Each structure stands twice: as C-alpha cells, then as structure tokens.
Amino acid sequence: MVLHPGASESPRCSISRPTSSEPARLHIRRVTTLWRPWRWAFPQVTPVPAARLPYRVKLSAGKHYAWCACGHSKKQPFCDGTHRTEAPSIAPLRFTADKDRTALLCACKQTKNAPYCDGSHLKVIYRDVVKSLKGIFK
C-alpha cells in the first residue's frame, strides 16, 4: 500500500485538503483507496487533461462542489460521475467554498493544489508542443 509520507496508515485517518507540499495525485489516490478498498484490484489510471487552460468559475460560500479529477466529465470542471466507467481508480475531490469568489479551477488535472490551478498547465502545453515538433521532424 502506497501512502503519502505524512499520511496515517490507519483506515480511520481524517481526510483533509492537500497541502501545497502534498502532491494532489497522491492525495486523490489515498482518498480513493480509503473509501473504496476494492479498487486495489484495478490498475491505476492517470487523469487526462480536459482542457489546456483553467476554468474560471464563480464559487458560492458554503456550497459543496465535486471537482473532476479524472478529466472525463462532460460538466467540467465538476464531476458528472463518468469516472465510474472511464477511470474507476480516480474519485472526484470534494470541497466547500469558504467565501463567494471567482476561482481558477484546474482543467489539465496536473495541479499540485487541487482543485485550484497552480500553473501546471504550462508544462502540459510545453509537453504537447515538444511532442508535436518531434512528430514534424521525425
């Protein structure tokens, strides 16, 4: 079982928002395995980028949201349940907005500050450009 170094091995450990030093992907995987232990039988699936740029969304104070972590949802950036068939090892990240505000929610699914954008989409864009150039000069 792979746990983040700061995580408790007890299945009763509390689930908290990832900190800036904790990779979001590990956090999501840990939450998924704690809630759905039978998912160990399925191979891990990596999230797919839903878009290259973040979504600008108005969040309401006290409202609960489920941010799509797999990238397959048709209601981006929020979960529509598609992960159950497309990426069964990935679960949405549930969070509550603390105040009314406009936020940039990650669309490339590579952020380390889920569900918020941390600029990781620049790496995704760079990787895609390099891949395209390699294809051209092959």
Residues that bind ligand FES (CB under 6 A): 68-70, 72-73, 79-83, 90, 92
| Shortest Cβ 78–ligand FES spacing (Å) | 8
Q: What share of the chain is helix, strand, coil (3-state, %, to 5)?
A: 25, 15, 60
| Shortest Cβ 105–ligand FES spacing (Å) | 12
Instruction: Decide whether 109 or 112 has the Cβ nearer to ligand FES.
Output: 109
Instruction: Decide whether 49 or 81 has the Cβ nearer to ligand FES.
Output: 81
| Shortest Cβ 102–ligand FES spacing (Å) | 22
Instruction: Decide whether 82 or 113 has the Cβ nearer to ligand FES.
Output: 82
Separation CA 7–CA 44 (nearest Å)? 19
The DSSP secondary-structure symbol of 113 reads S
| Shortest Cβ 135–ligand FES spacing (Å) | 28
103: left (phi over 0), alpha (psi -120 to 50) or beta: beta
- The H or E element that residue 28 is part of is helix 24-35
Instruction: Decide whether 96 or 138 has the Cβ nearer to ligand FES.
Output: 96
| Shortest Cβ 25–ligand FES spacing (Å) | 13
Instruction: With beta carbons less than 8 A apart as the criterion, state whether 45 and 70 touch.
Output: yes
Instruction: With beta carbons less than 8 A apart as the criterion, state whether 61 and 99 touch.
Output: yes
Separation CA 136–CA 12 (nearest Å)? 52
